[in-house]
Amino acid sequence: MPRKGAPGAFREVSASGSHFEIGRSIGKQCRDMALRSEKRFRSWFRSPEFGLEKAVAYARRSMPATRQFYPGYMEELEGYAAGTGIKLDMVYAMSCDLSDRGRGRGCTDIVVNAEWTKDDCVLAAHNEDVSPYNIFDIAIARIRPKDEPGYLGMNYGGIWPTAGMNAAGICLTGNALVPNDTRVGIPKIVPCRKVLAESGIYQALKASMPEGRGHSFNNIVTDSNGEIYSMEGSATAFEALYAENGWLVHTNHYLSPKMWRFEENLHTRFSSIVRYNRATKLFKKELGKVEVSTFKRILSDHVGYPESICRHADPALDEEEQTQSIFSVVFDLTNRAAWVCYGNPCQGELRKYEL
């Protein structure tokens, strides 16, 4: 439930030009968000063994690999540093996967191609399940680099895309995994951004799993032809799960037997298991008549409450450990539109945003 004083809709920001200009402009438009995240980030690294300086120095080690993999995004982060007034090293560290917090977190994703939808559209749906306070960190960003397709992203701080779709019909959704092989390497947010820079499924899949990564999301990559891949990654391995039947569901545990050995601790994945099976069962019944409102219904499901598909903060946990569905999004790749619900989908409404 949106907290008191919440605006009821996400901020919309936009920027175009060079990657640096984009970063600087977004930094100016989202400076308040960036400063709040910085403050929180600083508070996470107060131990004598792993203090802030160590964390920033540790993060910096992967910067050359990130720059080599996707220089455009490094330029966006440099611009963001300039626009927010936060040092680049800090912005970069905030882009990395340093914290152990939120291991019980995770999102639910459902993707379907045109053969099963009412209006022959390819649709990718996602619930974003994180700390309740993260609802204030999201901006809907329209980014138009001069050398790449423009994209609409659900971006943390306006700059870190957690889900998005671009003008070429490439969509990035997905969810967190907890692999046991994390290392110094390209942070998992960087492939998300690079997928949104690509124009074809081959390039997008390649962008989703760079060699030399330090961690990985399960990156769901979909194109407007209805090619749907769930890229189950760890730092050192991955499986490309293809939606053979034209649809797939993913939550926060490895489905591929090949990847089971990278699961850090399956005992922490019960919410994920419940959400996966529940979403699969509910969605099967809808095949052939799927439309945007179908996702609103399924993403609002409360079986397994409070760690259900529509997740609500468990008051028994402390604030940093709580999880809430802070938004739902349904990307219509065929019509290049995004339907976004602010806050829990059981309470809000989907609102349409054009690319």
Query: Given the rule CB under 5 A, which residues bind Zn ion?
Result: 310, 344, 346
Q: Which of 241, 244, 202, 302 is CA-nearest to residue 116? A: 244
* Closer residue to Zn ion in complex, CB, 290/346: 346
* Closer residue to Zn ion in complex, CB, 238/327: 327
Residue 125 beta carbon to Zn ion: minimum distance, rounded to whole angstroms: 15
Report CA-CA distances (Å) from 253 to 179, 243, 273: 9, 17, 7
* Closer residue to Zn ion in complex, CB, 61/297: 297
* Closer residue to Zn ion in complex, CB, 44/133: 133
Strand spans (E) along 34-176: 108-112, 123-130, 138-145, 151-156, 160-166, 171-176
* Closer residue to Zn ion in complex, CB, 127/216: 127
* Closer residue to Zn ion in complex, CB, 77/326: 326
* Closer residue to Zn ion in complex, CB, 264/307: 307
* Strand 337-342 to 350-354 pairing: antiparallel
Q: What is the largest CA-CA distance in the chain?
A: 58
Report CA-CA distances (Å) from 286 to 124, 127, 260, 282: 15, 18, 30, 7
Contacts of 37 (CB under 8 A, 6+ apart): 94, 137, 156, 157
CA distance 108 to 85: 35
Residue 181 beta carbon to Zn ion: minimum distance, rounded to whole angstroms: 34
* Closer residue to Zn ion in complex, CB, 20/342: 342
Q: Which of 206, 204, 81, 85 is CA-nearest to residue 151? A: 204
Query: Do 175 and 214 meet the contact criterion of CB atoms below 8 Å apart?
Result: no
Residue 344 beta carbon to Zn ion: minimum distance, rounded to whole angstroms: 4
Question: What are phi and psi for residue 87, nearest 5 degrees?
Answer: -60, 145
Residue 301 beta carbon to Zn ion: minimum distance, rounded to whole angstroms: 8
CA torsion sign, 169 to 234 to 206 to 249?
A: negative
Query: Do 220 and 109 meet the contact criterion of CB atoms below 8 Å apart?
Result: yes
Q: Which of 300, 320, 8 is CA-nearest to residue 136? A: 8
Q: How many CB atoms lie within 10 A of CB 148?
A: 18
Residue 347 beta carbon to Zn ion: minimum distance, rounded to whole angstroms: 7
Residue 1 beta carbon to Zn ion: minimum distance, rounded to whole angstroms: 9
Contacts of 19 (CB under 8 A, 6+ apart): 72, 73, 75, 76, 79, 145
* Closer residue to Zn ion in complex, CB, 142/311: 311
Residue 210 beta carbon to Zn ion: minimum distance, rounded to whole angstroms: 36
Query: Do 97 and 113 meet the contact criterion of CB atoms below 8 Å apart?
Result: no
Residue 270 beta carbon to Zn ion: minimum distance, rounded to whole angstroms: 18
Residue 175 beta carbon to Zn ion: minimum distance, rounded to whole angstroms: 18
